[in-house]
Chain A
Amino acid sequence: MSKLSANTQYLIGISATMGGYMAALFGSILTLKAHPELAGPALWAVAVLPALPIGGSIWVFLRYIEQVDEYVRAVTLKRFIVATGLTLFVCTAWGFLEENAGAHHFSLYLVYPVFWAFYGAASALYRSAS
């Protein structure tokens, strides 16, 4: 069992996954530029590489929620659920706008920062779970 606090473990985990994200992003871009002949599964593997640390950061966050006390968990979960709902709503609405009203194309990898922007807004709005 780890002796580090949940906050410390979270900071270490997020720093590691964000560091991994930067490395994977530049690694992926540089590899794709250096090897334009890549195709099939190899191309898919290199292209998707930056998404893997993002999955890791979500796992770190969910682990943090399990480790904190019931009050912090309740508040954090409320913010997480509100941010998830807003992200789903906005992305679905934008999808319809793209499809039916010619709105500018929104790249799906931007969904992740959009979620965290909504999480920040939810954190400002919800200071308690009640």
Chain B
Amino acid sequence: MSLDKNFLIRVIPLYLNAIKTTLFISLISLVISIIIGIICIFIMFFNIKILKNICKFYIELFRNTPLLIQVFILYFGITKFKIYLGEQTCGIVGLSLLGGSYFAESFRSGIESIKKSQIESGLSIGLNKFQLFIYILFPQTIKISFAGISANIIFIIKETSILASIAVEELFHTTKSLIGIEYKTYEALLLLTIGYFIIIVPISLILYLIKRRISYV
């Protein structure tokens, strides 16, 4: 098993680009999905009538279906209605919707495990429900459900690999096409693994450090 060095040097820029794309898509999707999660938990906490049911339906719908089918519907399906999204947009929309439902679920289980006395004492010192949510419940939710949140972050980054199926130029798609076109299996897989580790190891270390800090507070 010998590696083709010229090939490696030639395709490294491709992989750097792919790492950039993967990071870009993960980051944007993470931000949007955390916002969706907060909106959902906000609606559910304030018991806004119809919206609450929509939120519940949305969470169940996206938690119980694979991302692959979701992006297929976004990318191939809705073109029937003359809506054309680029592959990156599709990927970001799909990942954000999926991630939003996961974050909403983590936040919900966090907020449910907060003691009732917290709410009661918050109300008794004259906070309104909005202040109660912002100052008392939400910060505690983050702490309680941090394990779930960090698992979700890793999950979203891992799920970007599925976007290879709709030709987003991320790590897996780059690898797949290099194997297909140039038949350089070893080199492509090696670079894929390295590229992937460059992304995931620092992030999981950072999450681990934050978790340790939070659990000491």
Q: Are A and B part of the same complex?
A: no
